Amino acid sequence: MVQHPAIAPKRVAVITGAASGIGLAAARRLAELGMRVCLADLPGEALERAAGEVAGIGGSQNVLAVPTDVGRRQDVESLRDKVMASFGEVAVLMNNAGTEGGGGLFGDPQRWQAILQTNLWGVVNGVQVFAPVMAEQGTPGAIVNTGSKQGITTPPGDTAYNVSKSGVKVVTEALAHELRNKPECKVTAHLLIPGFVFTGFTRARGVTEKPAGAWTPEQVIDFLLPALERGDFYVLCPDNETTRAMDEKRIRWAAEDITENRPALSRWHPDFKDAFGRMMEGK
Say if residues 141 and 134 touch (Cβ distance below 8 Å): yes
Residue 256 and residue 267: Cα distance in Å, rounded?
11
- The active-site residue, picked from 161, 198, 253, 272, is 161
Identity of the amino acid at 139: T
In the annotation, is 161 catalytic?
Answer: yes
CB 95 within 8 A of CB 142: no
Amino acid at 1: M
Contacts of 264 by beta carbon, 8 Å cutoff, 6+ apart: 257
User: Could you give the CA distance from residue 72 to residue 212 in angstroms, rounded to a whole number?
Assistant: 37
The set of catalytic residues is 161
